[in-house]
């Protein structure tokens, strides 16, 4: 087993200490930070995402794996900057106005970061104006919206209409997700994509940067 395979396995097990030690060891052995990121950490996070999609692991395992991955990313960060690895691109992410649920949104954020997308996280209960402002100032190419309440679903449309009014609708892809929304709802409000879980959200977001 290569050291990057081992890193991937330890990410999936959520073993921060092992991930940290192996990232340091791999750097000393001459692996580039990019190789460690792409062949170790991201492979591990994608694997946990796939297992999550199939209900083979649950929320706590995903959170622990993401924490282990982030420990590795912290070790690699200075080397990645030196090697000139640019993030894939930027996404603005939030839970819509009136809704305070953030566990799903945070999982989506972690999966997006796991595939190299920089996330501007506006948190929960976020107004359309704030989303427009963040999309405009950051130049993000993706806006990712989460909601868990049927009573706040309507705010997706509010945000999409506000992006349109601000002249940003052609510049950003809007993705939505969360328990009460669906593919049909996404079409109805004019979103570019609906995904049912965090792992597929990362796949779709990545496709918007190709």
- Tokens matching residue 119: 């996330």
Collapsing DSSP to helix, strand or coil, 12 comes out as: helix
Measure the CA–CA gap between 21 and 90, rounded to whole angstroms.
Answer: 29
Span interacting with ligand B1M, options 9-17, 127-135, 158-166, 177-185, rule CB under 6 A: 177-185
Q: Is 116 in the site for ligand B1M (CB under 6 A)?
A: no
Residue of 105, 109, 141, 156 that binds ligand B1M (CB under 6 A): 105
Measure the CA–CA gap between 119 and 127, rounded to whole angstroms.
Answer: 18
Residue of 175, 186, 189, 202 that binds ligand B1M (CB under 6 A): 175
Of the pair 76, 112, the CB lying nearest ligand B1M is at 112
Burial of residue 27 (number of CB atoms within 10 Å: 0-12, 13-18, 19+): middle
**Cβ pair 173, 208 in contact under 8 A:** yes
Task: List phi, psi (to 5°) of 59.
Answer: -50, -50
Residue of 36, 140, 144, 202 that binds ligand B1M (CB under 6 A): 144
Of the pair 50, 83, the CB lying nearest ligand B1M is at 50
Q: Is 25 in the site for ligand B1M (CB under 6 A)?
A: no
Q: Which of residues 62-81 bind ligand B1M (CB under 6 A)?
A: none
Span interacting with ligand B1M, options 17-25, 94-102, 113-121, 132-140, rule CB under 6 A: 94-102
Helices (H), 1-149: 3-13, 16-28, 33-36, 42-53, 59-83, 103-114, 128-138
Of the pair 114, 178, the CB lying nearest ligand B1M is at 178
* Residues found near ligand B1M in the complex (CB under 6 A): 59, 98-105, 107-108, 144-146, 148-151, 175-180, 195, 197-198, 201
């Amino acid at each position: 087993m290569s050291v990057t395979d081992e890193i991937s396995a330890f990410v999936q097990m959520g073993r921060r200490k092992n991930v940290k030690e192996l990232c340091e060891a791999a750097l000393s052995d001459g692996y580039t930070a990019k190789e460690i990121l792409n062949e170790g950490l991201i492979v591990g996070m994608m694997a946990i995402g796939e297992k999550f999609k199939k209900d083979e692991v649950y929320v706590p395992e995903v959170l622990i794996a993401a924490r282990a991955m982030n420990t590795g990313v912290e070790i690699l960060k200075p080397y990645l900057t030196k090697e000139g690895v640019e993030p894939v691109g930027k996404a603005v992410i939030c839970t819509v106005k009136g809704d305070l649920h953030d566990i799903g949104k945070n999982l989506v954020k972690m999966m997006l970061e796991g595939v190299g997308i920089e996330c501007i996280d506006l948190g929960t209960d976020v107004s359309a104006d704030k989303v427009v402002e963040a999309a405009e100032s950051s130049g993000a190419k993706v806006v990712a919206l989460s909601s868990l309440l049927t009573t706040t679903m309507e705010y997706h449309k509010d945000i999409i209409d506000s992006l349109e009014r601000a002249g940003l609708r052609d510049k950003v892809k809007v993705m939505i997700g969360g328990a009460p929304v669906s593919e049909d709802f996404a079409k109805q409000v004019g979103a570019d994509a609906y995904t049912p879980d965090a792992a597929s959200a990362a796949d779709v977001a990545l496709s918007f940067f190709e």
